[in-house]
Protein backbone atom coordinates (compact mmCIF):
# COMPACT_ATOMS: atom_id res chain seq x y z
CA UNK A 1 0.00 0.00 0.00
CA UNK A 2 2.81 2.42 0.88
CA UNK A 3 4.54 1.84 -2.46
CA UNK A 4 1.25 2.42 -4.29
CA UNK A 5 0.66 5.69 -2.44
CA UNK A 6 4.25 6.73 -3.24
CA UNK A 7 3.24 6.71 -6.91
CA UNK A 8 1.08 9.74 -6.10
CA UNK A 9 4.16 11.47 -4.68
CA UNK A 10 6.00 10.59 -7.91
CA UNK A 11 3.36 12.36 -10.00
CA UNK A 12 3.18 15.40 -7.71
CA UNK A 13 6.96 15.83 -7.81
CA UNK A 14 6.93 15.81 -11.61
CA UNK A 15 4.04 18.29 -11.60
CA UNK A 16 6.06 20.67 -9.41
CA UNK A 17 9.05 20.44 -11.74
CA UNK A 18 6.84 20.99 -14.79
CA UNK A 19 5.41 24.17 -13.27
CA UNK A 20 8.94 25.43 -12.50
CA UNK A 21 9.88 24.97 -16.16
CA UNK A 22 6.78 26.59 -17.64
CA UNK A 23 7.14 29.86 -15.76
CA UNK A 24 10.79 30.46 -16.64
CA UNK A 25 9.88 33.86 -18.12
CA UNK A 26 8.90 34.97 -14.62
CA UNK A 27 12.10 33.76 -13.01
CA UNK A 28 12.08 36.24 -10.15
CA UNK A 29 8.56 35.15 -9.19
CA UNK A 30 9.56 31.49 -9.42
CA UNK A 31 12.55 32.05 -7.13
CA UNK A 32 10.49 34.13 -4.71
CA UNK A 33 7.87 31.39 -4.48
CA UNK A 34 10.53 28.67 -4.18
CA UNK A 35 12.18 30.57 -1.32
CA UNK A 36 8.85 30.81 0.46
CA UNK A 37 8.21 27.10 -0.03
CA UNK A 38 11.62 26.24 1.40
CA UNK A 39 11.19 28.59 4.36
CA UNK A 40 7.74 27.13 5.06
CA UNK A 41 8.94 23.54 4.79
CA UNK A 42 11.78 24.19 7.25
CA UNK A 43 9.93 26.29 9.82
CA UNK A 44 6.48 24.70 9.73
CA UNK A 45 7.20 21.07 8.84
CA UNK A 46 10.76 19.79 9.16
CA UNK A 47 11.91 21.53 12.33
CA UNK A 48 8.82 20.79 14.48
CA UNK A 49 8.94 17.12 13.42
CA UNK A 50 12.67 16.95 14.11
CA UNK A 51 12.37 18.39 17.62
CA UNK A 52 9.50 16.04 18.42
CA UNK A 53 11.25 12.94 17.10
CA UNK A 54 14.74 13.71 18.43
CA UNK A 55 14.00 15.87 21.43
CA UNK A 56 16.82 14.64 23.65
CA UNK A 57 18.98 17.40 25.14
CA UNK A 58 22.69 17.77 24.45
CA UNK A 59 24.21 20.13 27.02
CA UNK A 60 20.87 21.89 27.47
CA UNK A 61 19.95 22.13 23.76
CA UNK A 62 17.67 19.74 21.80
CA UNK A 63 19.76 17.50 19.55
CA UNK A 64 17.59 18.34 16.55
CA UNK A 65 18.35 22.05 16.93
CA UNK A 66 22.09 21.42 17.19
CA UNK A 67 21.95 19.44 13.98
CA UNK A 68 19.82 22.17 12.42
CA UNK A 69 22.63 24.67 13.06
CA UNK A 70 25.15 22.09 11.88
CA UNK A 71 23.26 21.63 8.62
CA UNK A 72 23.20 25.38 8.03
CA UNK A 73 26.95 25.69 8.65
CA UNK A 74 27.72 22.63 6.54
CA UNK A 75 25.83 24.06 3.56
CA UNK A 76 27.69 27.34 4.00
CA UNK A 77 31.09 25.63 4.20
CA UNK A 78 30.40 23.43 1.17
CA UNK A 79 29.33 26.39 -0.95
CA UNK A 80 32.27 28.55 0.13
CA UNK A 81 34.83 25.80 -0.44
CA UNK A 82 33.48 25.06 -3.92
CA UNK A 83 33.36 28.78 -4.77
CA UNK A 84 36.95 29.32 -3.59
CA UNK A 85 38.13 26.31 -5.56
CA UNK A 86 36.46 27.54 -8.74
CA UNK A 87 37.80 31.08 -8.22
CA UNK A 88 41.30 29.65 -7.90
CA UNK A 89 40.85 28.24 -11.40
CA UNK A 90 39.86 31.62 -12.81
CA UNK A 91 36.07 31.27 -12.71
CA UNK A 92 35.52 34.49 -10.79
CA UNK A 93 32.36 34.96 -8.74
CA UNK A 94 30.02 32.97 -10.98
CA UNK A 95 27.67 30.46 -9.41
CA UNK A 96 29.11 26.99 -9.00
CA UNK A 97 27.05 24.29 -10.75
CA UNK A 98 28.24 21.66 -8.26
CA UNK A 99 26.48 23.53 -5.46
CA UNK A 100 23.17 23.23 -7.29
CA UNK A 101 23.71 19.53 -7.91
CA UNK A 102 24.67 18.96 -4.28
CA UNK A 103 21.58 20.80 -3.07
CA UNK A 104 19.37 18.85 -5.48
CA UNK A 105 20.95 15.61 -4.29
CA UNK A 106 20.02 16.60 -0.74
CA UNK A 107 16.44 17.12 -1.94
CA UNK A 108 16.50 13.62 -3.44
CA UNK A 109 17.76 12.24 -0.12
CA UNK A 110 14.95 14.03 1.67
CA UNK A 111 12.37 12.54 -0.71
CA UNK A 112 13.89 9.11 -0.08
CA UNK A 113 13.32 9.63 3.64
CA UNK A 114 9.76 10.75 2.88
CA UNK A 115 9.18 7.33 1.37
CA UNK A 116 10.72 5.64 4.39
CA UNK A 117 8.45 7.67 6.70
CA UNK A 118 5.46 6.74 4.55
CA UNK A 119 6.24 3.03 4.74
CA UNK A 120 6.85 3.20 8.49
CA UNK A 121 3.53 5.00 9.02
CA UNK A 122 1.62 2.24 7.24
CA UNK A 123 3.40 -0.28 9.44
CA UNK A 124 1.91 1.52 12.46
CA UNK A 125 -1.64 1.57 11.06
CA UNK A 126 -3.92 2.64 8.24
CA UNK A 127 -4.94 5.92 9.88
CA UNK A 128 -1.36 6.99 10.48
CA UNK A 129 -0.42 5.92 6.96
CA UNK A 130 -3.20 8.01 5.43
CA UNK A 131 -2.16 11.13 7.36
CA UNK A 132 1.48 10.80 6.38
CA UNK A 133 0.51 9.99 2.79
CA UNK A 134 -1.45 13.25 2.53
CA UNK A 135 1.48 15.25 3.86
CA UNK A 136 4.05 13.54 1.62
CA UNK A 137 2.01 13.74 -1.59
CA UNK A 138 1.04 17.39 -1.17
CA UNK A 139 4.46 18.73 -0.19
CA UNK A 140 6.24 16.72 -2.90
CA UNK A 141 4.90 19.29 -5.34
CA UNK A 142 7.10 21.81 -3.55
CA UNK A 143 10.01 19.33 -3.59
CA UNK A 144 9.80 18.93 -7.36
CA UNK A 145 9.48 22.67 -7.85
CA UNK A 146 12.49 23.37 -5.65
CA UNK A 147 14.66 20.56 -7.06
CA UNK A 148 14.35 21.82 -10.63
CA UNK A 149 14.70 25.47 -9.58
CA UNK A 150 17.81 24.94 -7.43
CA UNK A 151 19.58 22.86 -10.07
CA UNK A 152 18.87 25.43 -12.79
CA UNK A 153 19.72 28.43 -10.61
CA UNK A 154 23.37 27.42 -10.36
CA UNK A 155 23.86 27.23 -14.13
CA UNK A 156 23.33 23.53 -14.72
CA UNK A 157 21.96 22.43 -18.09
CA UNK A 158 18.26 21.63 -18.44
CA UNK A 159 19.14 17.95 -18.95
CA UNK A 160 20.79 17.77 -15.51
CA UNK A 161 17.88 19.62 -13.91
CA UNK A 162 15.44 17.10 -15.41
CA UNK A 163 17.65 14.20 -14.30
CA UNK A 164 17.60 15.44 -10.70
CA UNK A 165 13.84 16.01 -10.95
CA UNK A 166 13.21 12.41 -12.06
CA UNK A 167 15.52 11.13 -9.33
CA UNK A 168 13.56 13.17 -6.79
CA UNK A 169 10.29 11.78 -8.13
CA UNK A 170 11.46 8.16 -7.90
CA UNK A 171 12.99 8.54 -4.43
CA UNK A 172 9.73 8.20 -2.39
CA UNK A 173 8.90 4.94 -4.18
CA UNK A 174 12.35 3.53 -3.42
CA UNK A 175 12.14 4.73 0.18
CA UNK A 176 8.71 3.17 0.73
CA UNK A 177 9.91 -0.11 -0.77
CA UNK A 178 12.88 -0.29 1.61
CA UNK A 179 10.55 -0.36 4.63
CA UNK A 180 9.68 -3.91 3.62
CA UNK A 181 13.21 -4.77 4.78
CA UNK A 182 13.86 -2.54 7.84
CA UNK A 183 12.45 0.16 10.10
CA UNK A 184 14.25 3.48 10.73
CA UNK A 185 14.43 4.49 14.43
CA UNK A 186 12.38 7.62 15.13
CA UNK A 187 15.25 9.43 16.87
CA UNK A 188 17.58 8.93 13.91
CA UNK A 189 14.90 10.24 11.54
CA UNK A 190 14.47 13.34 13.73
CA UNK A 191 18.23 14.02 13.68
CA UNK A 192 18.26 13.78 9.90
CA UNK A 193 15.31 16.16 9.55
CA UNK A 194 17.05 18.73 11.77
CA UNK A 195 20.27 18.62 9.76
CA UNK A 196 18.49 18.77 6.40
CA UNK A 197 16.32 21.65 7.59
CA UNK A 198 19.39 23.73 8.41
CA UNK A 199 20.92 23.13 4.99
CA UNK A 200 17.64 23.96 3.26
CA UNK A 201 17.24 27.19 5.22
CA UNK A 202 20.73 28.29 4.17
CA UNK A 203 19.88 27.79 0.51
CA UNK A 204 16.64 29.73 0.87
CA UNK A 205 18.03 32.65 2.87
CA UNK A 206 21.50 33.00 1.37
CA UNK A 207 20.90 32.03 -2.26
CA UNK A 208 17.32 31.71 -3.50
CA UNK A 209 15.72 34.83 -1.99
CA UNK A 210 18.64 37.23 -2.66
CA UNK A 211 18.70 36.05 -6.27
CA UNK A 212 14.93 36.56 -6.57
CA UNK A 213 15.22 40.22 -5.52
CA UNK A 214 18.51 40.97 -7.28
CA UNK A 215 17.10 42.08 -10.64
CA UNK A 216 13.43 42.42 -9.69
CA UNK A 217 13.04 43.94 -6.19
CA UNK A 218 9.28 44.08 -6.79
CA UNK A 219 6.39 43.74 -4.38
CA UNK A 220 5.10 40.84 -6.48
CA UNK A 221 8.26 38.84 -5.68
CA UNK A 222 7.74 39.37 -1.97
CA UNK A 223 4.09 38.35 -2.30
CA UNK A 224 5.18 35.14 -4.03
CA UNK A 225 7.46 34.38 -1.08
CA UNK A 226 4.61 34.93 1.37
CA UNK A 227 2.38 32.77 -0.84
CA UNK A 228 4.96 29.97 -0.74
CA UNK A 229 5.02 30.02 3.07
CA UNK A 230 1.22 30.16 3.15
CA UNK A 231 0.96 27.16 0.85
CA UNK A 232 3.12 25.03 3.15
CA UNK A 233 1.09 26.25 6.15
CA UNK A 234 -2.05 25.06 4.36
CA UNK A 235 -0.47 21.71 3.58
CA UNK A 236 0.62 21.20 7.20
CA UNK A 237 -2.81 22.22 8.47
CA UNK A 238 -4.64 19.82 6.13
CA UNK A 239 -2.25 17.00 7.02
CA UNK A 240 -2.87 17.52 10.73
* pLDDT tens digits for range 178-211: 888 876 677 887 888 888 888 888 888 887 788 7
* Structure confidence by residue, pLDDT tens digits, 127-180: 656 666 766 776 688 788 889 988 888 888 889 999 999 999 999 999 888 888
Buried-state track 208-237, b at ≥16 Cβ within 10 A, e below 16: bbebbbeeeeeeebeebbeebbebbeebbe
Strand ranges, E, within 36-155: 57-58, 61-62
The residues, any chain, with a CB within 8 Å of residue 231's CB and separated by 6 or more, are 36, 37, 40, 142
Contact 101, 162 (CB under 8 A): no
Q: Is the pLDDT of residue 89 over 50?
A: no
Burial of 157 (0-12, 13-18, 19+ CB in 10 A): exposed
Read off the pLDDT band of 92 (50, 70, 90): very low
For residue 25, give the DSSP letter.
Answer: G
Length of the chain in residues, anyone? 240
Q: Taking the model in full, what pTM does it have?
A: 0.71
203-231 pLDDT tens trace: 888 877 887 877 666 788 899 999 989 98
Which run of H or E residues covers position 196?
A: helix 186-202
Q: How many CB atoms lie within 10 A of CB 80?
A: 12
Cα distance between residue 204 and residue 196, in whole Å: 12
- The residues, ordered by sequence, that sit 6+ positions from 188 with a Cβ below 8 Å of its Cβ are 54
Least Cα distance to 67 among 53, 80, 79 occurs for 53
Amino acid sequence: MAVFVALGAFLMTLAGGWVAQRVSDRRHLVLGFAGGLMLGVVGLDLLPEAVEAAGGLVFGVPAALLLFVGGFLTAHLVERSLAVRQAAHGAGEERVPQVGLTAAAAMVGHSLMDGVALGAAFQVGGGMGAAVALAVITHDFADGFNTYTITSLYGNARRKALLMLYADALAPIVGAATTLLFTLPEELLGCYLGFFGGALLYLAAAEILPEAHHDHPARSTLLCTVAGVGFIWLVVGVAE
